[in-house]
Structure formats: C-alpha cells, structure tokens
Amino acid sequence: MSRFVLITPNADFDGRLRQAVAGGLQGGVQTFFTNVVPAGPYDLFGQLNQEQPEVLILGPELPLEDSLRLATILDAQVPHLMVLLVSEPDPALILQAMRAGVRDVLSPSADPQQLRVLLERACQSFANRNRMEQQGPAENQKGAVIGVFSPKGGVGKTTIATNLAVGLGQLAPMSVVIVDLDLQFGDVASGLYLNPEHTVTHAVSPAASQDTLVLKTFLTVHPAGFYALCAPASPVEADYITPDQITRLLEQLADEFQYVIVDAAPGLPEIGLAAMEVCTDIVWVSGMDIPSVRGLRSGIEALKQLDILPEGRHVVLNMADPKCGLTVQDIESTIGVPVDVSVPRSRTVALSTNRGTPVLVDARKDPAAKGLSQLVERVSTTNRTNEQRSSHRRVVV
C-alpha cells in the first residue's frame, strides 16, 4: 500500500522523496507525474490503486492557486488526510497555506533527511487524529490547558513553557499552541526567536473571538512543529485586554488543539487567575532560593482559599543546585506539596535562551534536557493516564 501520494512533474523531487521514505519510514510512494491538480477528492481517489493514503504531497511546479484550492476542499471533506505543500516557505504563503488546511510547507530544495523529518511529523499527526476520533467526542471535547505559573519572576518560567511546547510538539505535531499571557513584558517571542506579525491583542478581537478560523490566522508557526501566540508589542496594549477575553481565547484554543500551554505573568494578576480557572494542569516553577520557595507557598495557599487549583499539579525546581544550601526536603516541607521534576542548572540553558532555541530542539543530551523531558512526559495526555499525571514522587537534586 502507498502511504504517501505525490503529485508533481518534477522527477528529481520524486527521487529525493523516495530516498526519504526508504531511509526509515514504512509504506510506499505513489507518484502522479503531472502539473494538473485534481479538482477534488473524487478525482484524486479515483486515480489511486488503493484505499486512502495518509499523506498527500502537492509537489513543485504545480499551480499554487490550484494546490491551495484542493487543500481547502480536502480539509473540509477529508480532514484526516495530511496535505503537504512544496513551495518556498515565505511568511505570506505559510499563512495562506494554514488557512487552506495545509499541514506543513516543504522547501523544493529539501534534502532526503529534511523530507523524512517532515513526513514523520505528518504521519504522527495522522495517527494522533485517528486515535482522537476513535476515542469519541465525549473523551475528546477539549484539549489540555497547561498553565506555567510562578509567584516570583526570574525563575525560568518562560524557559520551562517554551521547552514544554517543543516537547509536546514532538508528540503531537501542529497540535500544540503556546500563549504568552505576560501581556506587558512577555518573552515567548524572543525565547523562540520569533518576530510575530500578530499577537494576543489581535487574537482577542471581536472577529477572532467569534470565528476560530480568523483566530488561527493570528498564530505564528514555529519550525519545531507548533504554534505560538505572543504578547503584545507594547505594554500599553495589555490595559485593553480583559480577563473575560482571555477566558474565551483559551476555550477557543482548547477546542482546536490537543495542548494549550499558557506562560503566565509572575504573581497572581487578574488575567492569570482567569487563565488558571480554564487550566486542566498547572506547572509551578520555583528556584532553589528562599524568596522563590516562600512565594510559591504563599501562592498555593492563596489559590486553595480561592478554590481554583486545578487537579493536575506539577512542581518544578528550576536551576536546581545541590550546593545552594537547601534540600528538596526543605522545600517540600515549606510549600506543603511534593516536588515532581528537577531541572539542573545548566550553561546550555542560558545559551539556548539567548539564541532563541529551546534546549529540547537541539541539545537533548544536556542534563537539563532530561528534567524537561520528564516534565513533558508527565503532562502528556497521550502517554500517561490522569492517575499517573496526578501522582507524585520525590525527586533527587
């Protein structure tokens, strides 16, 4: 059976695609050497010698307008088919392609290794979507909303949030979105080396709040396979965003994505409390210093009194150092809850932050990456049951 179907008159690209598949992917390739784009699903599937494939690649030298038209039709009529578009990936085209339902945009000059990565990502998306459909609507009404909070600033909260986005994006490609709710001084854009055209300000506009398709056009695509919604360009814009707008925004995103990651502002501002009420999980981030630990204790106690603590709770010690004078036992006795994940202090993390490249993108052998990967596994709804995600055991620093 051909798992991949390619339409293109370009024999060279066909050769590279076949090398990519032969290099470690299951299934075959069926190629139609033509520059004529099928009018719709009936014309496409009528030419196949099999059941429906997983991935359709609209290759180079096809009319772009016809390719986007077909992608739009397939997105509406055959939504579980992954459509990839081969074209130079400029920002304007990526936005058009996303609106048309294209899963990813491939460069015509991509080598077999790059093609294999993108094909693997598409196949993973196909498998995730089919699994979610089999679970049924009752089990899959909403995605997980994972809030990353800290009463104190400077503890690496954005580093944790961006690496969560990368890690979960590897488990569920293009089914993850990170939202920067530090509306005045958010750093998600710089932490991911993004220069977004649109921000949270656009995403809470009346047009976006009434139409999820409009909302999606305001998301920024990250090369690691997830979306980002960054903080406003000016701190002044934060004054015009209300808690009700944030609640609506997160609910919309949870309807469309498997994972919604919220990077909240330090402390417990009104916007943060509104987000917390939508969250299914909270990741508390603390340093191994007395001000951070005491701040975390006060934050948890305040939220208990307000009765808005989500069931899923995960405490992360960031920049953990056994020589800091505090032990895990000291911290747990102070905050009154167990610590779940320890991320050791690492020069690589600081360097990755300055470069805008999260550790889990290309430095997975670093000790800090192990802790970050444990957190990804812990919050993942795919690999772990709710009971496992709620369990706690003492970490070692």
Q: Mind listing the domains of the chain with CATH numbers?
A: 2-135 (3.40.50.2300), 144-390 (3.40.50.300)
Say how far apart CA 160 and CA 148 lie, in whole Å.
Answer: 8
- Tens of pLDDT, residue by residue over 74-116, are 887 888 888 999 998 787 788 788 778 888 888 999 999 889 8
Of 71, 59, 61, the closest CA to residue 119 belongs to: 59
Give the other-Cβ count within 10 Å of 201's Cβ: 20
Distance CA 182, CA 263 (A): 7
pLDDT band of residue 391 (cuts 50, 70, 90) is low
What's the mean per-residue pLDDT of the chain?
85
Cα–Cα nearest to 243, from 269, 263, 266: 269
Measured distance between the N- and C-terminal CA atoms of the chain, rounded to whole angstroms: 50
Helix (H, G, I), strand (E, B) or coil at 139: coil
Question: In this predicted model, what pLDDT tens digit does every residue of 320-376 receive, in sequence order?
Answer: 888 777 888 888 888 888 889 988 888 888 888 888 888 888 766 788 888 899 999
The residue with greater pLDDT, 246 or 352, is 246
CA–CA separation, 216 vs 375, rounded Å?
A: 27
Q: What amino acid occupies position 73?
A: I
Does the pLDDT value for residue 181 go beyond 50?
yes
Give pLDDT, residue 137.
Answer: 44
163 pLDDT more than 90: yes
pTM, two decimal places: 0.65
| pLDDT above 90: percentage of residues in the chain | 39
d(CA 343, CA 63): 49
Spatial separation of the C-alpha atoms in residues 106 and 114, rounded to whole Å:
9
- Give the full edge-to-edge strand order of the sheet including 144-149: 220-222, 226-229, 176-181, 259-264, 144-149, 281-286, 312-320, 341-344
In this structure, the strands spanning 312-320 and 281-286 are parallel
Q: Which residue has the higher pLDDT, 128 or 275?
A: 275
Residues 182-203 have pLDDT tens digits of: 999 999 999 999 988 899 999 9
Only one residue has tokens 């590897």, namely: 170
Report residue 3's pLDDT band, with 50, 70 and 90 as the boundaries: confident
DSSP 226-261: EEEEBPPSSGGGGGG--HHHHHHHHHHHHHH-SEEE
